[in-house]
């Protein structure tokens, strides 16, 4: 696939919230969270298929998630459910408001560098980081 | 009737059928609320200290030891606790000379502060149902975050003065970067803006109010939108994180817009706070200290300051008590790493990432289901919670009182 630059905006999804309540260690929560929703034109240009794994990298870090192709058009913008996966990409640098940039993350997508990590593996990365 | 603590709507019409002391059936829950009720029986926390299974009493003793041994303990969470637990938490922070903060610190805090200080006109959800004829969901998506908001209060129901509901009496708009499920419901009322485009959108509305041409692509549509706003009998704006995160230090621009709208017609603001009792914590702390969050009790005096918000406090605090929250999941990884480096005590009904790295875990009752108390709905209305089932764990308030006795 060709590299793709996007602005990532995180959002809340009711199915993800339900899955989190049911169990944040479960496969359902991972599926609903480790996800990036792309504009169809962007996905086509970069050669990204719906459901394929991609690496999303920002200046703060990188994470492997599954790509989804949206029905709605939003070129240059990608949406990720707010979760420990998206939080790998949010910068630790904050401005005067001290609110992290959860909803404006400059990121690059490339071929998946590995599998989508389980939540326990993300935690291990945080503890060892 | 039971109350659902799945979000800050605190729906109080939940019918529950018990069989052998367990919840067998429910009525009226949304998908998110059903998840909260089902969580009674999944991934419950168990008491732990220093890597070993212990009993609750020993976990409480070890927690007290860690907190009283810290020079600057951070007491964080609180948005998923009852008012009684929040009061007990503030009392504990005071006794420890520690720092207390909640999730509003990096969430709806800046906007909620204006509401609580009386600097932003607000109203109740019952006012919305009865009188709210012009609605703006701004950077919020209640269909996903507060699933019964539109059906119980804001869009679909008939109200005292709005007997024809959404078909004729209510006009709704959504301003969002994403065509959310809510945006799809309001259909032609949806304005798509670019990420960070909220300030520009506000300026465009202000331009029209000033009688100038707005600097937007579709000028005619913008003028028609503002004309509708000016004709409102009672308008409501429901700002979500999309708006707060986009404006950040420029919230004054939003205040300016609300003030301008109110020169002509009444327009009220109800922030779409997520957790069920975030408003309760903000209000309780404000009444006791003058600050809605980010308060330190060092030297016996309450002081508000950004250095006491979790984002900054993680650089200076040497231990943390986390109550009903999972900051390791919800904070950017860079901040979660800082939390992982200090001793953490977790009080929570469930296992979560913060509990997994904590030195002490104290399981607590799920409030509203296993423990009673009270909470403030997103609009500040007090709602009483009564336990539905008997649980095995003590309430947050009980655990906090026991810790306070021994620190």
Digit-coded pLDDT (tens) for B353-368: 999 999 999 999 999 9
Whether residue B311 and residue A15 make contact (CB cut-off 8 A), yes or no, is: no
CB neighbour list of residue B52: distance below 8 Å, 6 or more residues apart: none
The closest of A116, A41, A128, A44 to A80, measured between CA atoms, is A116
Q: What is the pLDDT of residue B215?
A: 87
Which of A32-36, A53-57, B245-249, B381-385 shows the lowest mean pLDDT across its residues? B245-249
Q: What kind of fold does domain B109-269 have according to CATH? A: Dimethylsulfoxide Reductase; domain 2 (3.40.228)
Q: How far apart are the C-alpha atoms of B170 and B177, rounded to whole Å?
A: 23
Q: How confident is the model at residue B27 (pLDDT cuts 50, 70, 90)?
A: very high
Helix (H, G, I), strand (E, B) or coil at A56: strand
| β-pair type (B373-376, B22-27) | unpaired
Q: Do domains B45-106+276-406 and B109-269 have the same CATH topology?
A: no
Summarize the confidence of residues A38-49 as an average pLDDT: 97
State the smallest CA–CA distance between residue A31 and chain B in angstroms.
16
Closest-CA distance, B117 to chain A, in angstroms, reads 19
Contact status of B184 with chain A (Cβ, < 8 Å): no
| Mean per-residue pLDDT, B161-176 | 93
Q: What is the 3-state secondary structure (H, E, C) of A62-90?
A: EEEEEEEECCCCCCCEEEEECCCCHHHCC
The mean pLDDT of B369-378, rounded to a whole number, is 98
pLDDT in tens, B32-43: 999 999 999 999
pLDDT value of residue B342: 98
pLDDT of residue A22: 86
CA atoms within 13 A on the CB side of B308: 22
- CB pairs < 8 Å spanning A and B: 146
Going by C-beta distance under 8 Å and a sequence separation of 6 or more, which residues neighbour residue B317?
B70, B72, B73, B74, B99, B342
Q: Do A97 and B43 touch (CB under 8 A)?
A: no
Q: Provide the residue ranges of all domains of chain B, joining segments of one domain with +.
A: 45-106+276-406, 109-269
State which H helix or E strand residue B313 sits in.
Answer: helix B310-313
pLDDT, average across residues B15-38:
96
Confidence check: pLDDT of A51 > 90: yes
**Contact flag A77-B335 (C-beta cutoff 8 Å):** no
Cβ within 8 Å of A, B 33-72: 34-36, 38-39, 42-43
Q: Is B180 an interface residue toward A (CB < 8 Å)?
A: yes
- Nearest chain A residue to B334 by CA distance is A92
Q: How far is A124 from chain B (nearest CA, A)?
A: 9
Residue A129 has pLDDT above 90, yes or no: no
pLDDT in tens, B198-228: 999 999 999 999 999 998 879 999 999 999 9
Chain B, 265 to 294: residues with Cβ < 8 Å from chain A are 274
Q: What structural domains does chain A harbor?
A: 4-128 (2.40.40.20)
Contact call for B333 and A83, based on CB within 8 A: no
The answer, yes or no, to whether residue A65 has pLDDT greater than 90, is yes
Residue B195's closest CA among A74, A108, A70?
Answer: A74
Please answer yes or no on whether A97 and B147 come within 8 Å at the CB atom.
no
d(CA A108, nearest CA chain B) in Å? 17
- Share the mean pLDDT of chain B: 97
HEC string of B168-199 equals HCCEEEEEECCCCHHHHHHHHHEEECCCCCHH
* B44 DSSP assignment: B
In chain B, % of residues over pLDDT 70: 100
DSSP string, B331-397: S-HHHHHHHTTS-EEEEESB--HHHHH-SEEEE---BTTTB-EEEE-TTS-EEEE---S--SS--HH
Q: Which residue of B has its CA nearest to A84?
A: B329
Contacts of A122 in chain B (CB under 8 A): 353
On chain A, the residues whose CB falls within 8 A of the CB of B244 are: 99
Beta strands at B267-269 and B235-239: parallel, antiparallel or unpaired: parallel
Nearest CA in chain B to A79: B178
Is the ipTM higher than 0.85? The answer is yes
Residue A1, pLDDT > 90, answer no
pLDDT category of residue B85 using cuts at 50, 70 and 90: very high
Chain A contacts in chain B segment 73-102 (CB below 8 A): none
- The CATH class that applies to domain B45-106+276-406 reads alpha beta
The answer for B 364-403 residues in CB contact with A (under 8 A) is none
Min Cα distance A2 → chain B (Å) is 24
**Alpha carbon of B335: minimum distance to chain A alpha carbons (Å):** 7
pLDDT confidence of B165, banded at 50, 70, 90? confident
| Mean pLDDT, residues A45-60 | 97
**B197 to chain A: closest CA residue:** A104
Cβ burial of B28 (10 Å; 0-12, 13-18, 19+) is middle
């Amino acid at each position: 696939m060709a590299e793709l630059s996007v602005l990532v905006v995180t959002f809340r999804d009711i199915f993800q919230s339900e899955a989190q309540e049911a169990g944040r260690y479960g496969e359902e929560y991972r599926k609903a969270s480790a996800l990036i929703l792309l504009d169809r034109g962007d996905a086509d240009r970069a050669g990204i298929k719906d459901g394929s794994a991609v690496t999303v990298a920002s200046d703060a870090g990188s994470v492997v998630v599954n790509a989804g192709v949206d029905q709605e058009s939003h070129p240059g913008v990608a949406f990720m459910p707010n979760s420990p996966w998206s939080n790998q990409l949010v910068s630790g640098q904050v401005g005067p408001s001290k609110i992290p940039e959860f909803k404006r993350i400059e990121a690059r997508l490339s071929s998946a560098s590995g599998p989508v990590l389980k939540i326990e593996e993300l935690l291990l990365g945080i503890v060892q980081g | 009737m039971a109350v659902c603590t799945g979000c800050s709507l605190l729906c109080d019409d939940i019918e529950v059928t018990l069989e052998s002391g367990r919840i067998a059936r429910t009525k009226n829950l949304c998908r998110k609320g059903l998840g909260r009720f089902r969580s009674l029986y999944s991934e419950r926390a168990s008491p732990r200290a220093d890597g070993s299974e212990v009993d609750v009493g020993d976990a409480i003793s070890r927690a007290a030891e860690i907190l009283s041994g810290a020079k600057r303990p951070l007491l964080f969470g609180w948005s998923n606790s009852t008012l009684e637990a929040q009061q007990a938490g503030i009392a504990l922070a005071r006794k420890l000379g520690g720092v207390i903060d909640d999730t509003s610190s990096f969430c709806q805090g800046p906007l909620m502060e204006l509401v609580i200080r009386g600097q932003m006109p607000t109203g109740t959800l019952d006012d919305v149902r009865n009188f709210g004829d012009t609605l703006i969901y701004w950077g919020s998506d209640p269909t996903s975050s507060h699933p019964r908001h539109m059906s119980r209060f804001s869009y679909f129901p008939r109200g005292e003065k709005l007997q024809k509901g959404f078909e004729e009496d209510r006009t709704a708009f959504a301003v969002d970067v994403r065509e959310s499920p809510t945006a799809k419901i309001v259909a032609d009322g949806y304005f798509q803006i670019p990420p960070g485009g909220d300030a520009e959108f506000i300026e465009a509305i202000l331009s029209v109010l000033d009688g100038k041409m707005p600097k937007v692509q579709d000028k005619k549509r913008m003028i028609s939108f503002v004309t509708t706003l000016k004709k409102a009998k009672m308008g409501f704006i429901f700002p979500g994180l999309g708006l707060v995160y986009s404006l950040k230090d420029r919230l004054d621009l939003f205040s300016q817009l609300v003030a301008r709208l109110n020169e002509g017609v009444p327009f009220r603001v109800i922030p779409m706070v997520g957790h069920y009792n975030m408003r309760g914590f903000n209000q309780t702390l404000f009444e006791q200290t003058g600050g809605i969050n980010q308060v330190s009790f060092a030297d016996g005096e309450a002081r508000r300051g950004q250095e006491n918000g979790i984002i900054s406090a993680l650089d200076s605090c040497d231990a943390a008590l986390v109550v009903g929250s999972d900051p390791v999941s919800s904070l950017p990884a860079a901040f979660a790493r800082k939390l992982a480096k200090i001793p953490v005590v977790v009080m929570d009904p469930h296992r979560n990432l913060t509990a997994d790295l904590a030195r002490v875990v104290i399981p607590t009752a799920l409030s509203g289901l296993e423990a009673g108390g009270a909470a403030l709905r997103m609009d500040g209305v007090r709602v009483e919670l009564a336990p539905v089932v008997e649980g095995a764990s003590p309430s947050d308030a009980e655990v906090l009182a026991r810790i306070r006795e021994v620190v």
